[in-house]
């Protein structure tokens, strides 16, 4: 009989499971806390669970193993970038960042990515598989244990497209929310998508209060198609219509990400066009001077043009900030550590 991944069970499922193996239901809460709050890596760490039950669990179930194989720490701001190996020897990345509002972890949702955005390193090694909900949550548990510091915010902005792994991502948000587990409120969770339109409508109906970020990066379909293949499937108009519906249903503000690329999308005209697109929406724009990747074709917009872009949007009444660059002395752009890992095992 195959062992089950016990971290995939939601609280009610764990209760049913514990009863099904002839044990009292209340043990489920104790076990859930060990798994989803403390993040134990073996059943023997569960000190208030009898040895008989621990042995039973060991025979029938397993705890997924997320192993930190590299941690790069920024000397400038304490940002830590982790390369994490999964049970099947594939690897993902998570980034720990310190902000004034608390520690934030940027998590991966897939091993690799299918989306093919031209400026992004995550996509260069192709797509291997979806992450399980327990592997998404596991990144927080693993890093929290390693750093011994509480993580209070989570951003789904690591490797992968969250809405291309919809069910597992939604399940992971519910696991992370659970008060017997990490207990991180949905308002402290942001999910970023390149814009898989039907899934935005679906997410709006889930009754999850997380913040949605849209990776827009261009103001015309023509330009967006050049840098983001997903634009061939959904137009900016379709995307923004879905966003408006999301705001209407959830009453939550949407954040638009815009990576500023030198000479591509960073002109004054682009800023005006962006302001026109977002007029009347409860939105916030996050400008990211593009992070240059190895062998990439794109260059970062100049500081001057970034500032001008921001001022133009702000003067049009669109609340705009420039993302503070963290960990600039480490391989902070997602996908670069994994790329190195793949190159090293293929040597």
Footprint of ligand SAH (CB under 6 A): 115, 117, 119-120, 157, 161, 192-194, 215, 257, 259, 288, 290-291, 293, 333
Nearer to ligand SAH, 115 or 143 (CB): 115
Smallest distance from the beta carbon of 159 to ligand SAH, in angstroms? 7
CA angle 24/39/60 to nearest 5° reads 45
Burial class (CB in 10 A: 0-12, 13-18, 19+), 347: exposed
The residue (of 14 and 333) whose beta carbon lies closer to ligand SAH is: 333
* Exposure class string for 102-117: b at 16+ Cβ within 10 A, else e: ebbbbbbbbbbbebbb
The residue among 23 and 161 lying less far from ligand SAH, judged by its C-beta, is 161
Min separation Cβ 194 and ligand SAH, Å: 4
Nearest distance from C-beta of residue 2 to ligand SAH, angstroms: 32
Nearer Cβ to ligand SAH (298/341): 298
Phi-psi domain of 180 (left: phi exceeds 0; alpha: psi -120 through 50; beta: other): alpha
Least separation in angstroms between CB 124 and ligand SAH: 11
264 is catalytic: no
Of 117, 120, 194, 334, which residue is the catalytic one?
334
Q: Rounded to an integer, what distance in angstroms lies between the CA atom of residue 293 and that of residue 332?
A: 10
> Can you list the positions of beta strands (E) in 206-247?
211-215
DSSP code string of 52-93: HHHHHHHHHEE----EEEEEEE-TTT--EEEEEE-TTS-EEE
Tokens of 246: 């999301």
261 DSSP assignment: B
Q: Smallest distance from the beta carbon of 147 to ligand SAH, in angstroms?
A: 22
- Distance (Å, rounded) from C-alpha 229 to C-alpha 224? 8
* Cβ nearer to ligand SAH, comparing 120 with 197: 120
Are the C-beta atoms of residues 301 and 289 closer than 8 Å to each other? yes
Closest to ligand SAH by CB, 139 vs 291, is 291
- Burial string for 211-248 (b: 16+ CB within 10 Å, else e) reads bbbbbbbbbebebbeebbbbbeebbbeebbebbeebbe
Scan for tokens 């939604």, then name that residue: 170
Cβ at position 192, least distance to ligand SAH in Å: 4
User: Is 269 noted as a catalytic residue in this protein?
Assistant: no
Q: Among 334, 5, 1, which residue's Cα sits nearest to residue 168?
A: 5
Q: Which of 93, 135, 137, 264 is catalytic?
A: 93
Instruction: Cite the active site residues.
Output: 93, 334
């Amino acid at each position: 009989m195959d062992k089950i991944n016990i971290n995939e069970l939601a609280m009610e499922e764990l209760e049913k499971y514990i009863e099904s193996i002839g044990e009292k239901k209340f043990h489920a809460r104790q076990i859930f806390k060990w798994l989803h709050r403390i993040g134990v890596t073996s059943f023997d760490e569960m000190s208030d669970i009898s040895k008989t039950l621990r042995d039973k669990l060991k025979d029938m179930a397993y705890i997924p193993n997320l192993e930190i194989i590299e941690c790069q720490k920024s000397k400038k701001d304490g940002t830590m970038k982790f390369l994490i190996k999964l049970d099947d020897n594939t690897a993902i990345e998570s980034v720990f960042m310190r902000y004034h509002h608390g520690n934030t972890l940027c998590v991966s949702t897939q091993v690799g990515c299918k989306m093919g955005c031209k400026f992004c390193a995550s996509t260069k090694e192709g797509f291997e598989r979806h992450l399980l909900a327990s592997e998404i949550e596991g990144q927080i548990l693993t890093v929290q244990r390693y750093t011994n510091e509480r993580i209070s915010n989570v951003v789904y902005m690591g490797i992968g497209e969250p809405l291309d792994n919809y069910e597992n991502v939604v399940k992971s948000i519910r696991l992370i929310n659970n008060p017997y587990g990490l207990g991180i409120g949905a308002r402290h969770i942001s999910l970023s998508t390149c814009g898989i339109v039907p899934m935005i409508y679906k997410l709006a109906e889930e009754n999850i209060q997380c913040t949605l970020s849209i990776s827009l990066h261009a103001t015309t379909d023509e330009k967006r198609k050049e840098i983001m293949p997903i634009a061939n499937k959904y137009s900016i108009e379709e995307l923004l219509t879905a966003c408006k519906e999301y705001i209407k249903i959830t009453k939550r503000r949407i954040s638009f990400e815009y990576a500023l690329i030198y000479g591509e999308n960073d002109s004054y005209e682009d800023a005006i066009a962006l302001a026109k697109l977002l007029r009347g929406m409860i939105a916030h724009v996050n400008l990211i001077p593009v992070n240059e990747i190895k062998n990439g074709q794109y260059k970062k917009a100049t500081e001057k043009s970034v500032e001008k872009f921001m001022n133009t949007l702000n003067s049009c009444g669109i609340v705009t900030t420039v993302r503070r660059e963290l960990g600039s002395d480490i391989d902070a752009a997602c996908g670069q550590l994994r790329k190195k890992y793949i190159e090293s095992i293929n040597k």
